[in-house]
Every structure is written in structure tokens, then in C-alpha cells.
Amino acid sequence: MSHKRLPVFIVGLIMLASLTSCQNPANQPPTAPETPKLVLAGYVIDELGQYTAGQWVDGQWQAISGETDTFANTIVEHDGAIYAAGYTLTIGNTRTACMWIDGEQQPLPLPENAQDSIAKDICVINDHVLVAGYYSYTVTIEGYSTTKRDCGYWIDGSWQPATVPAGVARCYANGLAELNGSILMCGYSGSSAFLWTDGICTELERPDGYTYIAATQILVDDENVYCAGFLIDSSNYCKPCVWKNGIIEVYEVPDGMTDGYIDSIAIRDGEITAVGDSETTNDEGATLSMIPGYWKAGIWNPLTLAPGSSKGLATAIIVSENIITGYCMDGSGRNIPGFWKSGSWNAVSLPTEATHGIILDGLSVSGPVAATQDSPSSKLVVLTAGSYNREEAIMAANGKALVEDSSACYATGIAQYGDDVYFSGTATLDANSVGDPVYWKNGARVDLALPEDAWGDATDIQVVDTFVYVAGYITQHTESLPVDSPCVWINGTRTALTTGNTLGGQANRLAVVGGDVYISGYWIESTGDAGDTRTICFWKNSTRTDIESIAECPDEMVFGIASSGNDVYVCGSSADELGKLIPAYWKVSDPSLEMTTLDAGEATKAGCIDLLLANGSVHAVGTYHDATDGWMPAYWKDGVLSTLETEYSETNDYQVGISLALDGSDVYIAGMRSYSTEGEVPTLWKNGKLIALAGGNNYGSMLDIAIKRY
């Protein structure tokens, strides 16, 4: 490349301008210091009940990474970066401790036996980042299993377990601090509170008359070590307390209040200041009132609630800014995040997708704060429908109830249309109801029409444009027994579907393809002591086509339907020349009804219940009967059989995969498995492995599953 020389007069002008702009540094005005930024850590909750951790930087929300529920408990600044500690929550409500650096998630390694873990505090000591936390695990002794909990801290990502006194099986670590280069950590086991100094454990003082004790916060000021926590007395009331150099002071709660909690401590105006709340609870433990405030030198000072709020909590203190962080609860029970500055409440804005949120920690940052992301991205939500405890509906998002309706008996199907989520199912609408077909749109129930003196079930739902399609059946008394009659509701109008005789049948699943409505199901050819003989069939725009007759069909067998482009498939079982029931599916959009069979190994009976075609592969779920283990849950990929994980197997058990959904390469399956003491249990599998569910999951089944990404 050639360079042209500038004319001499232009060079002179440039030099003159440069000289003119130069000033004597002594005469220049001083550079104004950069205004500190207020960084507040916490999380927000969206309409699907999903939690997203993040931070507000001068009021602007920034989400941090994580595809499932994320919770940030505490933050610290180090070398110009913002570190946050907390945990993620899986669909099975398993917590996994983690850390974020400028919003990017970092794993915190744990021993292989760890099952549930959480990070509680983060700090910088001797230029190292430390995170306090704990994890739980299961041990089996002489055939009995019990849960234990170990505590400790991570230093630069490496786990350091804490030593605890003999006999302590469950211990929590909650706070970290530094004194003259030594690492201090506080925690508790329930009956004892502890302070560790470079790994050496000291038990903190516990006054007489208290049954439970906890140290949850730690602070070092000069040479003084403060720990804060709470005590529970024999009446089950909670009293806040502070230890100074191991000596305890129990704080009083204000008149009319029963309980008090400390969430954070700091030194302000030379006095120990502990922020939290005072509460009133009833005999059942329900919180009736919850007033945010702080104890200064042991004296309670309430904070003003936001207008229209009934409850609130103070969570942390930023001394340099005279700020106390927290949240207030509005009249609808939603938490509004914000802070009190010099005692005045300031709400922070929520991102558009959030309905409420909480601030747990905060700090003032003098330098730049790296941006994370403006809103949650790539969130994974696993929607499930089913029932538990015999007749309580499951309509959940990542294991948390999405719809709460006391009339709901069970949910059977899921549909998504735009941002709307639909569930089909059955409810008891009055005291005389046996069960009524309904669906829910974003939690609002829609009752479906029934003939007089009939009851029924809605078994599946699809939504296309302005049309809501619901498959199901109604039940009416005849001269002998009640008879099921298959039907479909389109925008609430019911259309009966034909059967081959008067013994009835059911519509199970539906698909809308190219304007045509396909419904899978069966009708009963004959009944017998060994089981019904059923004819698998489908209806296209209400016209029935019979596929195959199946003898001794289990009551739980559902004949599913799937589509891929314009191709439609119905799945079930087919009898071979030896009378064995083999899993199969039929291409019903083709008049030839082309059948494909699946491998069932040595099983004498097997069935395909749901089907999904994606990325060139055929995925299917169902069940097969093993002479030793009974009915076992099954998954097929391209015809190859895999048995889903289950703890129990007996010849009279019925265990089955009922519905499946894909998320990338991950396969989620809903169904049921058997417990010897709890009957059939609603079950989720991910890639063939059980997903542990929270309590209340007995006597029922998962009937449908769907994936939502946003």
C-alpha cells in the first residue's frame, strides 16, 4: 500500500490545533469520580411459575444463565467481576449448587454421592473466592436408608468439607468471613450452632429453654466476630439472636408479634444492625402478618410497607448507600422487589415476562458492571398432566403446580398455542358428580356439554387457530351396566363417534392434520373374565375405520396417535400367528393401513401407547409383559426395545410409558410404575432414568408430557 504525504500547511494546522488544545495539568479541573452502581441480586418468577436468577443494575434487570429454575442467594465483587452463588432446581426439585461469574454459570464440584446441594454465601478471602454450602446424600445401614447432610465450602471451585462433632448427621453451612487471614464459617445442625475457624469447629452458646438453634450469618468488624441466627422455644416460636465473640444476645420481637428472623447483619453507625422481619403465626404455623425491619443495638425498627402491601421482608443491607433490600407482598400475594433508602420504599421494575420477584442481596460497585442478558433465554419447561393420591390432578410445569383447581380429578392431555397452555381432564363439578369432562386454558376451567344423567372424561386436547378440539367419552346407564360412548367436542359442541355395537368404546388421542381431525381409540367387541376384546380404530372427521381386534386387553392400554407432516399414525398391539400381542403402529393416512411392528424380545404381550417421529427416527413408549417381572415400562427407538428404570417388579404390577416428548437429544417419558405399598405411581423418565418427584406422588399416573422452550 502506498501512502500520500500530507501537504505542509495541513501538517502545520494539525500541530497548531494540538498545541492549542493542550492545557497545563495543574490548571485542569479534577475528573469527577464515577457514580457507584447499585447491584441487587435475586430472582423473578414468570407466569409459568419458573424462577430466573439475575441482578438489577441501577434498576435495569439482567438475567443470568440457566435453563431451569435458578436462585441467586448472594453476590460479591472481585477483580471487576460480579460473582453470585446459589443453585439450580430440576424438574424433580433437586437442587444443584452453582456459581455465576458475570452471569455465566460455573459448576461447583461435589462428591459423587451428592444428591441435593445448595450454595449459601460467597466472599473473597486472601484473593480467593470461597462459597459456603452443603449437600445431602443417602446411606444404607443394615437395610435401612437415611439421609445425611455434609457442609463445607468451595475455594476456587474445590470442595473442602467441614469437620463436625461426633453424632452430627445433618449440618448446614451458611456464612463466610475472614479474620486476620483465617477463614471463618458459621452453620448449625438443629440442636447446635457452630463457628469454624480454619476448619476447627466451636459450638456456639445456646441458652436454656430452646429446642432448636441456628447460625445463619457472620460478620467481622475489627477483631470482633458476630454471628446471627435464631432460636426456637418450647412453644415453637422463633427468636432472633446475635453472638458477639461467642456470647449470645437474644433479641425481642415487638408486641403483638410471635416470631422474628434475621436475614443479614452489618455494622452501621457503630452499632450492629440485623435486618429481617417480625411475624405473627397461628397454631398451624400459617403466617398472618410479616413486617420488614431491622434490629439496631437489639431494638426493633419497622420499615414502611409499600402502598397496598400486606407483608414484606428485609433481606440485606448496603451500609455505604444507607439501603436495605427486600420485597413487599401486594394484595394478590405477589412479591414486589425493591429496597428502602433512608427508610423510604423504592420498587424496582420487573422484566416483561415476570409477574413477581425477590431481592436477596446487594452491593455498591464503583467500576463498570458487565452485562449478562436482558431477559431469560432458553428456559426449559416440562409440562405434565396426570393424577396422584388417586383423584388429585397433576397440571404442572417442571414439577410445580401450574393449575390449582380443587374440583380437578385428573388431567389427561396438554396443548400449547402461542403463549397459552391447555389441559384436558375430568372434574367433579358438584356433590352429585361422578366426573365431568373439562379443559383448562391458562388455569381457567371450561366445562364441556353433557347429556342429562351422563358423566364423562376428556382424554386429549388440540388447539388450531380458533378451534379447540377435545377427545373423550361420555358414560350413561343402560339396562345392565354403564356404557362409554366416544365423542369429540369442537369449541364445546359435542359430536358422537360411532362404534361397532352397543358395548361402547372410548376416544383416546387426537391429531389435527391438514384440516382433518383424526381420533384414535377403540370399541368393545366382547367382554369376558380374562378381559375385554377390543377393536383398535380411528375416526377421521367422525368416520370410523377399524384396524385390529385385540383380546384380553389391559384397561390401562391407550391407543395413541401421532403425525409427521401429512402422515398420521395410530399405535397399539397386533396379534401374531402364535397369538402373541406385539407392539405395532399403523400409517392411517394411507388407505393401505401399513403396519410396522416393534421388538418385544421374549414378551408374550406388549403394546405401543404413544409415538413420536422426529429427526428421521421413530420414538415409541408402552409396555411389555415379562413372565418374571410382570408388565414393564418400555421405550423403543427405531424399533429397538429398552426397559425404563424402575425399582420394583412383581408379576401383578402394571408399569408403563404412556407419553413422550423430545428436547434436542433428551427423551422425556411420562407414565406409571408400581410400588408394593403405594400402588401405581405417576412417573417421569429422562433418557430412561427415573426423575425423582416431590412428595404426594402416589396412587396415580402421568398421562401426557410436553416441552416448552422460551
Q: pLDDT tens-digit profile of 93-121?
A: 889 999 999 999 999 999 999 999 999 99
pLDDT at position 317 is: 96
Gap between the Cα atoms of 241 and 218, Å rounded: 12
Positions of CATH 2.120.10 in the chain: 477-709
Name residue 160's amino acid. Answer: Q
The b/e string for 18-41 (b: 16+ C-beta within 10 A; e otherwise) is eeeeeeeeeeeeeeeeeeeebbbb
pLDDT at position 676 is: 60
CA-based nearest residue to 625, from 597, 646, 653, 644: 653
Let me know if 375 is exposed, middle or buried by CB neighbors in 10 A (0-12, 13-18, 19+): middle
Task: Convert 459-522 into a string of H (helix), E (strand) and C (coil).
Answer: EEEEEECCEEEEEEEEEEECCCCEEEEEEEEECCEEEECCCCCCCCEEEEEEEEECCEEEEEEE
**Residue 354 in this model has a pLDDT that exceeds 90:** yes
Lowest mean pLDDT segment, chosen from 140-144, 150-154, 414-418: 140-144
Lowest mean pLDDT segment, chosen from 31-35, 191-195, 297-301, 586-590: 31-35
Query: Topology of domain 477-709, per CATH?
Result: Neuraminidase (2.120.10)
Which three cell numbers, joined as nine digits, stand for 704? 401426557
**Residue 18 in this model has a pLDDT that exceeds 60:** no
Q: Which residues contact 318 (CB under 8 A, 6 or more apart)?
A: 38, 324, 325, 362, 363, 364
E-assigned strand segments in 58-127: 60-63, 69-78, 81-89, 95-101, 104-107, 116-125
**Residue 376 in this model has a pLDDT that exceeds 60:** no
Which three cell numbers, joined as nine digits, stand for 331? 394484595
**Residue 666 in this model has a pLDDT that exceeds 90:** yes
Which three cell numbers, joined as nine digits, stand for 473? 367419552
With respect to CATH, is domain 37-365 assigned 2.130.10.150? yes
Positions of CATH 2.130.10.150 in the chain: 37-365
Residue 617 binned pLDDT confidence (cut-offs 50, 70, 90): very high
Lowest mean pLDDT segment, chosen from 34-48, 277-291, 418-432: 277-291
The b/e string for 469-482 (b: 16+ C-beta within 10 A; e otherwise) is bbbbbbbbeeeeee
CB < 8 Å & 24+ apart, contacts of 613-621: 613/562, 613/564, 613/567, 613/569, 614/564, 614/662, 619/660, 619/662, 619/667, 620/571, 620/583, 620/585, 620/660, 621/656, 621/657, 621/658, 621/659, 621/660, 621/669, 621/671
**Residue 172 in this model has a pLDDT that exceeds 90:** yes
Residues 656-683 have a mean pLDDT of 88
Residue 602 binned pLDDT confidence (cut-offs 50, 70, 90): confident
**Residue 282 in this model has a pLDDT that exceeds 70:** yes
**3-class SS at 10?**
helix
> What are the two backbone dihedrals, phi and then psi, of residue 563, each rounded to the nearest 5 degrees?
-135, 150
What digits encode the pLDDT tens for the residues 244-277?
A: 999 999 999 999 999 999 999 999 888 999 999 9
Does residue 253 contact residue 278 with C-beta atoms inside 8 Å? yes
Residue 580 binned pLDDT confidence (cut-offs 50, 70, 90): confident
DSSP for residue 18: H
The highest-confidence range among 24-33, 63-72, 345-354, 678-687, by mean pLDDT, is 345-354
User: What are the angstrom distances between the C-alpha of 134 and each of 41, 87, 187, 204, 635?
Assistant: 21, 11, 10, 19, 36
pLDDT at position 609 is: 95
Does residue 393 contact residue 402 with C-beta atoms inside 8 Å? no
- Higher-pLDDT residue of 297, 15: 297
What digits encode the pLDDT tens for the residues 38-81?
A: 999 999 999 999 999 999 999 999 998 888 899 999 999 999 99
Residue 33 binned pLDDT confidence (cut-offs 50, 70, 90): low
Residues 348-377 have a mean pLDDT of 83
pTM for the full predicted model: 0.85
Gap between the Cα atoms of 484 and 102, Å rounded: 59
Mean pLDDT score of the chain: 89
pLDDT at position 383 is: 96
Gap between the Cα atoms of 276 and 262, Å rounded: 4
Residues 351-355 have a mean pLDDT of 91
User: What are the angstrom distances between the C-alpha of 302 and each of 279, 335, 402?
Assistant: 11, 18, 35
DSSP string, 155-201: ETTEEEEPP--TT--B-EEEEEEEETTEEEEEEE-BS-EEEEETTEE
Gap between the Cα atoms of 287 and 311, Å rounded: 10
| Sign of the Cα pseudo-torsion (136, 137, 139, 143, in order) | positive
Residues 684-698 have a mean pLDDT of 79
Let me know if 646 is exposed, middle or buried by CB neighbors in 10 A (0-12, 13-18, 19+): buried
Residue 11 binned pLDDT confidence (cut-offs 50, 70, 90): very low
